Amino acid sequence: MPLKRFFAELAWAGRAEVDTKAALRAAGDVITGAQIARDVMIEVDDGRITKVTPGEVQDAESVRLTGLTIPGLANAHSHAFQRALRGRTHQGAGDFWTWREAMYETASALDPDRYYALARATYAEMALAGITAVGEFHYLHHGPGGRAYGDPNEMGRALIAAARDAGIRITLLDCCYLRGGFDRPLDGVQVRFGDGDAERWAERMEDLLGSQSDTVLVAAAIHSVRAVDPKAMATVARFASEHEMPLHVHVSEQRSENAECLEATGHTPAGQLARTGVLGPSTTAVHATHLDEADVVSLGRSGAHVCMCPTTERDLADGVGPARALARAGSPLCLGTDSHASIDLFEEARAVELDERLITERRGHHRAPDLLHAATAAGMQSLGWNGGVLEPGAPADFVTLDLASVRLAGVEPSSVLEHLVFAASAADVVGVIVGGEQVVAARRHTKVPDVARSLSQAIKAVVEPAAVAP
């Protein structure tokens, strides 16, 4: 593959450090003191960054990136099919559990073709929003009645193909899901989630590993402490550890989950995970909304990432998790759009801070560089990608924003990162490069000609399955 060169008018190289010396240490010769560098030549070979040089002059061979270029955004928690629910679950009252009924109904309409089409369109929407890697938390493994497809990984491979065709990286977080609750078997559409036991989950996973590539990682997931017993959790954790892959798990999104876990086990969900050996630096706890102090300490000391999904946590009336306390305790934060009520990582990033403001009636819990770090390098790390920075050796994933939008107008050098976090929107993304390939140019997806139309058709096929030929 030939060397490619991109010329960024302005660039932020990533990393959270704002102290000049630390920034210099972290970014090597990339950023010479300032956080935002001008006229930065980014050289790319074989999908990776080979050189980053500020203060260059553009030449005819380099592609100009007009605006501010930042590392690609990582969406560390996605359920692609839930994009079909956007706007459709707000006509009654209820809570997370009544919402889940609608979600299960949508899940039950999926087959590999419909899932592929919906995920491809959803991932294309992510690309337009500057997301270059998605963590797909995947549990709809099997066909109606729980019967395995001819290829037991047909659904997972549909998701992998969807990401490839939408031009973004995927970490397929393949989920072990064995029971409906602490004392309940799988029920209804849940039978499609189950592999029977953790050993059979591991067998299926072994087969899936062959689908990995430069832009595809396979990783492990435990749905939740209610859906997987401790022995099976330990099996999944061991598998993840042996294969040096990330391990994701839903934790304490709802209070009733905590109450059930306490009643059944005498421990909180985070406590159960700690006892079962699930927590560690390659683990990501998703949501972590309702924690006690010991949970925060336990997660923080283990070095586990915590993936907050604030717009979903608003939508599903989950509550506000202790993001500040978790970060202080040692858990790197990352971000996910989860149910895709919205696909905008800038909104997720600011929501971490803003929702904590609402609860505490104080400002300034998280610095803007830290929130952008959550949206980039920390998310990439949670998903197993050594990226999210503009540095030699990192995957060549970057995103260019239009600083001349009405939302960002008035931005000044000393507060660019604050403007990005508190005022930018997915609509400000003008260009996206993944592995050195231009996936979005001039706000248009280069591989999916009409993303909105693809979304419309794919959603219609799922919410009105009878109306569409199979």
Residues within the interface to a second copy (CB under 8 A): 83-84, 86-88, 90-95, 98-99, 121, 125, 128, 255, 313-320, 341-343, 353-355, 357-365, 367-368, 404-412, 415, 418-419, 421-423, 425, 427, 451-453, 455-456, 459-460, 463
CB distance 463 to 86 below 8 Å: no
Q: Is 338 a catalytic residue?
A: yes
- For residue 165, the 8-state DSSP code is H
**Among residues 142, 287, 366, 419, which one is catalytic?**
287
44 vs 316 by CB, closer to a second copy = 316
Dihedral-angle region of residue 188 (phi above 0 means left; psi in -120 to 50 means alpha; beta otherwise): left
Least distance in angstroms from the C-beta of 290 to a second copy: 9
Neighbours of 292 (CB within 10 A): 14
Q: Is 267 a catalytic residue?
A: no
213 vs 360 by CB, closer to a second copy = 360
Q: Is 470 exposed, middle or buried (0-12, 13-18, 19+ CB in 10 A)?
A: exposed
Least distance in angstroms from the C-beta of 331 to a second copy: 21
243 vs 367 by CB, closer to a second copy = 367
46 vs 450 by CB, closer to a second copy = 450
Least distance in angstroms from the C-beta of 325 to a second copy: 15
Residue 427: both structure tokens together: 């609509």
134 vs 218 by CB, closer to a second copy = 134
Least distance in angstroms from the C-beta of 310 to a second copy: 9
Q: Is 243 exposed, middle or buried (0-12, 13-18, 19+ CB in 10 A)?
A: middle
- Coil, strand or helix: which one is 301? helix
Nearest-10 Cα torsion for 361, 362, 368, 370:
-100
CB distance 308 to 287 below 8 Å: yes
22 vs 359 by CB, closer to a second copy = 359
Residue 152: both structure tokens together: 């037991």
**Among residues 195, 338, 370, 397, which one is catalytic?**
338
Angle at 386 between CA 136 and CA 369, to 5 degrees: 90
Q: Counting every residue, how long is the chain? A: 470
Q: Rounded CA gap, 237 and 401, in Å?
A: 39
* CB contact set of 264 (below 8 Å; sequence gap of 6+): 182, 183
Residue type, 126: M
262 vs 427 by CB, closer to a second copy = 427
Instruction: Tell how strand 4-12 and strand 131-138 pair up.
Output: unpaired
253 vs 295 by CB, closer to a second copy = 253
Q: Rounded CA gap, 182 and 371, in Å?
A: 36
Least distance in angstroms from the C-beta of 4 to a second copy: 27
Residue 217: both structure tokens together: 């990682």
* CB contact set of 238 (below 8 Å; sequence gap of 6+): none
Within the chain, what is the greatest distance between any pair of CA atoms? 67
Cβ burial 159-196 (10 Å sphere, 16+ → b, else e):
bbbbbbbbbbbbbbbbbbbbbbeeeeebeebbbbbbbe
Least distance in angstroms from the C-beta of 80 to a second copy: 13
Least distance in angstroms from the C-beta of 465 to a second copy: 14
Least distance in angstroms from the C-beta of 231 to a second copy: 32
Please give the positions annotated as active site: 287, 338
